[in-house]
Amino acid sequence: MRHVYLVLILLLCGVIVLGCGKDKQQPPATAGEETATTKSVEKAGSAEKAESQEPASAEKSGGTGSAEKTESMEATAPAEAGSATKEPESKYPKEYIGKDGAKMALIPEGAFQMGNANGDRDESPVHPVQLDAFYMDIYEVTNAQYKKFVDATGHPVPRSWDDAALNGPNQPVVWVSWDDAVAYAEWAGERLPTEAEWEYAARGGLSGKLYPWGNELPGAGGEFRANYYPLGGKSDGYDKTAPVGSFPPNKYGLYDMAGNVWELCADWYYEHWYGYEKQVLNPQGPTDEYAKSNGYVRVRRGGAWSRRGKDLTCANRGNQQPGNGDDKTGFRCVISAKDVVP
Ligand SMILES: [Ca+2]
Ligand SMILES: [Ca+2]
């Protein structure tokens, strides 16, 4: 009987020793995590590194270990980063190439104040908006891109393709209606941006500024920041549309968010909508009954080559009949980041 007790005691000791050993193996792991979190500034880089290394290490170690490690690093990131930076965006690659071949930039999830209290009446009241991450074409859709769509689908050709002032391959496509733009977006597996997404993207992460670059007028100091209609006409270098990307991008890497061509958005336009809007997260614009009171027109944003500088503000709102086109209006597409990286 004593022998049995002895054996049991020995076994118990063994279990305890093993247990302690296990505990002792953990500190290096948590210490590693700690160093990772204390280096929060480098986190984005190291997280990317971990992601890019994942396939290789997954093969080596059977996958689960390194995957867990990556996950735990990501999980600690938001808590550590707190209010300092927008780290969660590192979950998604910075760039994405759409099915139409267009380069798209990641617009990170975040919140902003939509509208401009000192702008036109339809830009008030300023109200909070929260958006999930999405990708946006860095350029307005060009004639060359639109031709791929026309060739593939037999969609009608825009009338501007006869006009030498507008039909350059890298000029934005114009004389497209909202219906045409939606057809293109669907063909590309994408969609038009909501009005809120458009304004958030145009602001490029700047808070409370008038234009994508700040508060200066587009031609302040003789330095042109957009294609518009400066005093005297075309001193910005372009009489009508400019090839996309002719002016510097905003901080999200988006070109021509101010000027060149107006850009169609998904939403109906209703001039008093901001006073009724209740949806903070991913707002979709006016419901049918409000759209009706403005005669069912769609939002367009950003001003155009035909407009004075003050019309190029991020918050300025325009509209257009959904079946109409003109030589001042084009579009660009977006896709939700979760539809690209589930
Ligand atoms: Ca111009
Ligand atoms: Ca534009």
CA 237 to ligand 1 centroid distance, Å: 6
CA 307 to ligand 1 centroid distance, Å: 9
In which domain, by residue range, is 166 found?
95-340
What is the reported pLDDT for 92?
94
Q: Is residue 144 part of a domain?
A: yes
**Number of domains comprising the chain:** 1
Contact yes or no for 110/62 (Cβ under 8 A):
no
Handedness of CA 80, 251, 169, 151 (dihedral sign): positive
Q: Is residue 65 part of a domain?
A: no
**Of 331 and 91, more confident:** 331
What's the CATH number where 202 sits?
3.90.1580.10
User: What is the Cα–Cα distance from 137 to 318, expressed in whole angstroms?
Assistant: 20
Q: Is residue 77 part of a domain?
A: no
Q: pLDDT grade, residue 87 (50/70/90)?
A: low
User: What is the Cα–Cα distance from 67 to 26, expressed in whole angstroms?
Assistant: 17
Which amino acid would we find at residue 112? F
Which amino acid would we find at residue 216? E
Residue 261 has pLDDT above 60, yes or no: yes
CA 313 to ligand 1 centroid distance, Å: 16
Residue 84 has pLDDT above 50, yes or no: no
Q: Is residue 54 part of a domain?
A: no
According to DSSP, the residues that pair with 136 across neighbouring strands are 105, 334
Q: Is residue 35 part of a domain?
A: no
> Using N-to-C axis directions, what is the helix angle for 2-38 and 43-61, rounded to 10°?
140
What is the arithmetic mean of pLDDT over 67-93? Answer: 46
3 state DSSP class of 257:
coil
Within 8 A by CB and 6+ apart from 317, the residues are: 120, 122, 123, 195, 269, 271, 299, 301
Q: Is residue 42 part of a domain?
A: no
Proximal ligand: closest to the CA of 212? 2
CA 251 centroid distance within chain: 11
Q: Is residue 73 part of a domain?
A: no
Q: Is residue 225 part of a domain?
A: yes
Report the percent of the chain where pLDDT is more than 70: 73
What is the reported pLDDT for 182?
98
Residues with CB under 5 A from ligand 2 (ion): 256, 260, 302
Note the pLDDT tens digit of each residue in 24-42.
333 333 333 333 333 333 3
**Of 65 and 102, more confident:** 102
What is the reported pLDDT for 14?
42
Q: pLDDT grade, residue 91 (50/70/90)?
A: confident
